[in-house]
Chain A
Amino acid sequence: MSKASKYWTLVKLESSGRQKRSEIAAAKAFFEMAFPEFLGEADVPDVPIQKQLVQWLRDANSQGNNINSQNAECCLLCFISWEIEQVCLQLAQQFGTYHGFRGQDLFPFVLDEEGINRQRHLGQTKTPYQSFAREILQTFDPQQSSLATWTNRRVKFNSEINKFLLEHGVYLVSDWAILNDTHPQQLEKILTQFYQLTSLEVEQRLQLLACYHSVYRSQRLQQRQAGARKRCQPPTAQQYQQIAQRLETLIQQRISPKAVAWKLQNLATLLRQYRTYIRGGKLPNQSLIFVDDSDSIIEQIPSPEPIENDEEDIKKQEFLNWYEKQFLMCLHSSIAQVLETGLTTCQKRDGAKAEQFLTALYLFHCQGQSMSEIAATLGLKAQYQVTRLLKLKAFRADVRHHLLFQLRDRILEYTKPEHPSQELEQWEKQIELALDGELETLFKQAESDSYIAQNRPLNSPFFKGVCYYLDLREKSPNLIQSMISLLSKNSRRSY
């Protein structure tokens, strides 16, 4: 169901780059005449209306032009322009802030219908340029989907849109990439358990997938060999033909390449929806449903609340006190070591990027700037680029590991652990708490930029350590090396 006005209001792009809605009187009059039963209805049923409009449009095309067909086309193009606008706005709403784009940035790729050209006559040579909306209308098949779904799909898969979004760090995996990576066993499982299809329906789709694989995959590898483009392109007419031939042999029935194309697209849609569902439903480190947490091996993370076992608690506190001095020394040397190594590699590859990294490091740890502020300072388009530049999570893990490694032997003398992996995890958590408390949560918030910079524990040992290193790097870089070598001498495995 949708608003009837969608069928006579055209969304156009003005030269300013803004979208403008204009009512087309002829289309409105036609719609009201054609569908009197819906007059005064706020919402109208789309499917029967669209089927009727398409029928008028296509009948006329075969019998010669008439006024009905022009008006029907006009109504459909209006509807499509609405949908296009909606998809762009939703994309911007979902990703725009973090990835640095607006709906307006997307319009030029897809919102290019100028208006309804009343001068078009059949038999007249086609204009060389065809608007995206008309292309959507031409390829629309009312037997296969609704016009809203079809438009939505065509916008999503528009290559210009995809290219633009990919540059902004937003990715839409192609149907063909999904089909390529789907095992028959996986398909069977998804169709049976998730979609609850019958065994016959599953069997048909398995045959289709097998024929697609045998044609498309090997040619993909050959194209790769020849240095072809990265993204998977839709199968060519010839490939559809080959898939259809293989399928015919398999099922002993005639099947047209066009039918194969539809079937493949529908199959990909099923897989895509399942994939969306499973990725959306994946929480990192989910506990097993059937495993009692207390016995779980992976989930042995000590809670930050006071531990009931006092003795244990005291022991850990002792450890932290006793080690405070060495701890800070090792921390500084670890930070220095991780950053030195990282910077050396980075400088070799891209000197400018290394400088950018240092600046971002400084702004974040010593100035307390937020990700979007840093992006602005560095002249980057979006926060996500700062996230990618700093890779804070990895950086902090590397520092913790170095630190642990330097303290390890003494730690392990403390307790003769039965489960070294678990012990290590626990010590690491302790160290993390000692370094910066609940910082991980803050980082997660930092990425959405919904937190206040003052919340950042600029006084935490970790932040101070990074600033200390940056300061030292400015003033006396030779001290860094001696600091690193002093502490790594004691290690058993040369770090």
Chain B
Amino acid sequence: MFTSFLDESEVLFEFEPLNPEALPLSSEQINQSLDYCRSILDDRKQWQTYLNSLALFGFQNWLEQRSSELIFNLEHPSVEKPELAYFIEAVCNLAVNQFKICLVALGNSITDTISLPRAIFQLPEYRAHYYILIEVQEELETTSIYGFISYSDFQAHKTQIDLEPKADWTYSVPLSWFNTEPDQFLLFVRCLEVSAIPLPEIPNPAILLSQIREELISKLSQLQSSEPGIVPELWQILTWEQGKILFSYPELLRWIYEVQNQAILSAQPISPSHQNPIVYLTDLFNLLTQPTLNLAGWFNQELDTLSTALSWVFIPDFSPETALRDGTEISSLVKQLQENGVEISPQAKGAYRDLGLGGRSLRLYALTWPLEWEIEPEWTLLLILGLPTGTDLPVGVKLRVSDATGILVEQDSNREDQCSYLFTRVVGTCQEKFVVTVSLREDITETLPPFEFSFN
């Protein structure tokens, strides 16, 4: 039976006059919003991302209509990155006249509080001077500004009533805290200096990631879907302290996102990390926490201290031409490679390192040289894994290279195809790092500190 709360004469109040301030969304804006939420599988998060994206465009329309003189930057909203949209249900990374802005959509269903993620108040990357609620009328394709609150006002209210975050890493914020005069928001961003709303310093958690590495790896592996369609939420597995660290590393968020959405965000055509996410996770942690070996140092004719400390042995005067004549192991390897059509630049520098795996001694050669580039400088790393003796590799040896987006390549010596060495070549920009892992079986592995090629 119907439980009717209002008597029938009041039912007509459900009709509302259209808000004269509401602005229409264009079909391009709607399509762009659909694109932003397309790859998110979870239907609740997908819908919220869709509404949040519409809110972003609504905000843009409002600013454009109200003020040609405001300088606003909405170029790279967080909804552009599915992993951010998925874990932080708000739109961050926006600015108006130097003020950082964060937006959240209000749909057709409003209670007296709104649920806002902790991350947008407690992490420097996502925190804002102003938090703005945008009403989205999805089926009318219009939006209007509901209200706003500054960071300092939020903190003051929060202290006053001792508002505690909930277990799911959100605050239940009363709508009555928000100033519902959007014109006053414009007044503030037009006339205030940014310093009027101080954002206190937050310590950098970088040290902590390496400290809790093992614990985090085991916890993150629990974030994989246990049964189809059911994925655990971050807050069900991690403490908030661990969560904070995670939010500071978008690469880790991206990994969880890929695992939970069975999506691949990187442009790599084949990403084995997809089949073996946990293996890749250890690579990723190495990339994020290990000291990095800068190969640009090898061009100073001597190994830098780090390379030496890491047992790299420099091959003096190495060049493909001389290498071919001096009869060393590397020379014959280079010769074989060149016969197989692998080009090696005359500028290449090289070094090798001996690895002991399960009582076996293996030798890894690394050759590097800068490449011709058009947009930004690029470099290449050629890796060759063999035995110091030059004999055939034992069966089951694997060579794996990963970067911040996933596993790039995994070579192994199998039974049918006896070979004396494995080799692979990767190309990167000066901002990219590679991490190399050699393994004999699943349990006997050695990961080398990441490589980069930086002129800084």
* Chain A residues with a Cβ under 8 A of chain B: 87, 90-91, 94-95, 98-99, 144-145, 148-149, 152-153, 156, 165-166, 169-174, 177-178, 180-186, 189-190, 195, 213-214, 217-218, 221, 224-225, 227, 230-232, 266, 269-280, 284-288, 290-291, 295, 297-298, 341, 345, 384, 387-388, 391, 393-394, 397-398, 400-402, 404-405, 408, 420-421, 424-425, 428, 493-495
Residues from chain A with a CB closer than 8 A to the CB of B193 are 420
Residues from chain B with a CB closer than 8 A to the CB of A341 are 67-69
Residues from chain A with a CB closer than 8 A to the CB of B11 are 152-153, 156
Q: Is the CB of A221 within 8 A of B50?
A: yes
Stretch at the interface among B153-161, B244-252, B255-263, B407-415: B153-161
Q: Does B240 make an interface contact (CB < 8 A)? A: no
Stretch at the interface among B15-23, B278-286, B337-345: B15-23
Q: Using known A-B contacts A165-B15, A190-B111, A291-B160, determine if residue A391 contacts B177 with beta carbons closer than 8 Å.
A: no
Could you show 7 A-B contacts with beta carbons less than 8 Å apart? A94-B13, A213-B44, A221-B37, A225-B31, A227-B27, A288-B176, A345-B68
Q: Does B431 make an interface contact (CB < 8 A)? A: no
What CA separation (Å) do A172 and B25 show in the bound complex? 19
Q: Is the CB of B107 within 8 A of A181?
A: yes
Q: Using known A-B contacts A91-B12, A424-B191, determine if residue A178 contacts B43 with beta carbons closer than 8 Å.
A: no
Closest to B188 in A: A421
Q: Does B47 make an interface contact (CB < 8 A)? A: yes
Q: Is the CB of A393 within 8 A of B30?
A: no
Q: Is the CB of B187 within 8 A of A149?
A: no
**Given A178-B109, A275-B110, 7 other A-B residues pairs in contact with their CB atoms under 8 A:** A94-B12, A149-B2, A169-B18, A173-B16, A183-B44, A272-B14, A495-B69
Q: Is the CB of A286 within 8 A of B176?
A: yes
The 6 closest A-B pairs by CB, nearest first: A181-B107, A397-B183, A182-B109, A420-B196, A181-B108, A388-B20
Q: Does B304 make an interface contact (CB < 8 A)? A: no
Residues from chain A with a CB closer than 8 A to the CB of B10 are 276
Residues from chain A with a CB closer than 8 A to the CB of B139 are 173-174, 177, 230-232
Which of A232, A269, A424 lies in contact with B187, CB distance below 8 A?
Answer: A424
Q: Is the CB of A277 within 8 A of B46?
A: no
Q: Is the CB of A404 within 8 A of B30?
A: no
Q: Is the CB of B14 within 8 A of A401?
A: no
Q: Using known A-B contacts A177-B108, A401-B190, determine if residue A393 contacts B183 with beta carbons closer than 8 Å.
A: yes
Q: Is the CB of B110 within 8 A of A278?
A: yes
Residues from chain A with a CB closer than 8 A to the CB of B63 are none
Closest to B183 in A: A397
What CA separation (Å) do A274 and B139 show in the bound complex? 20
Q: How far is the CB of B437 from chain A (nearest CB, A)?
A: 39
Q: Is the CB of A224 within 8 A of B30?
A: yes
Q: Is the CB of A276 within 8 A of B4?
A: no
What CA separation (Å) do A217 and B37 show in the bound complex? 12
Q: Is the CB of A148 within 8 A of B8?
A: yes
Q: Does B300 make an interface contact (CB < 8 A)? A: no
Q: Is the CB of B3 within 8 A of A288?
A: no
Q: Is the CB of B188 within 8 A of A424?
A: yes
Which of A190, A221, A421 lies in contact with B34, CB distance below 8 A?
Answer: A221
What CA separation (Å) do A304 and B305 show in the bound complex? 73
Q: Is the CB of B108 within 8 A of A298?
A: no
Q: Is the CB of A397 within 8 A of B187?
A: yes
Q: Using known A-B contacts A218-B46, A288-B176, A288-B177, determine if residue A90 contacts B9 with beta carbons closer than 8 Å.
A: yes
Closest to B186 in A: A401
Q: Does B184 make an interface contact (CB < 8 A)? A: yes
What CA separation (Å) do A184 and B233 show in the bound complex? 15
Q: Using known A-B contacts A156-B14, A231-B139, A394-B183, determine if residue A401 contacts B191 with beta carbons closer than 8 Å.
A: yes
Q: How far is the CB of A249 from chain B (nearest CB, A)?
A: 11
Q: Is the CB of B187 within 8 A of A428?
A: yes
Q: Does B309 make an interface contact (CB < 8 A)? A: no
Contact with A along B372-403 (1 / 0, CB 8 A): 00000000000000000000000000000000
What CA separation (Å) do A227 and B34 show in the bound complex? 11
Q: How far is the CB of B44 from chain A (nearest CB, A)?
A: 7
Which of B15, B27, B179, B188 lies in contact with A94, CB distance below 8 A?
Answer: B15
What CA separation (Å) do A428 and B190 show in the bound complex? 12
Q: Does B150 make an interface contact (CB < 8 A)? A: yes
Query: Which residues of B from 120 to 148 have beta carbons under 8 Å from A?
Result: 137-141
Residues from chain B with a CB closer than 8 A to the CB of A171 are 15-18, 137, 140
Which of A87, A195, A424 lies in contact with B12, CB distance below 8 A?
Answer: A87
Q: Does B181 make an interface contact (CB < 8 A)? A: yes
Residues from chain B with a CB closer than 8 A to the CB of A428 are 184, 187
What CA separation (Å) do A152 and B11 show in the bound complex? 8
Q: Is the CB of B16 within 8 A of A279?
A: yes
Q: Does B81 make an interface contact (CB < 8 A)? A: no
Q: Is the CB of A493 within 8 A of B110?
A: no
Q: Does B207 make an interface contact (CB < 8 A)? A: no
Q: Is the CB of A275 within 8 A of B109?
A: yes
Q: How far is the CB of A176 from chain B (nearest CB, A)?
A: 8
Residues from chain B with a CB closer than 8 A to the CB of A275 are 14, 108-110
Q: Is the CB of B191 within 8 A of A404?
A: yes
Residues from chain B with a CB closer than 8 A to the CB of A170 are 15-18
What CA separation (Å) do A384 and B11 show in the bound complex? 23
Q: Is the CB of A180 within 8 A of B18?
A: no
Which of A221, A230, A345, A400 lies in contact with B46, CB distance below 8 A?
Answer: A221
Interface centre among B12, B37, B107 (most CB of A within 10 A): B12
Q: How far is the CB of B60 from chain A (nearest CB, A)?
A: 14
Q: Is the CB of B109 within 8 A of A421?
A: no
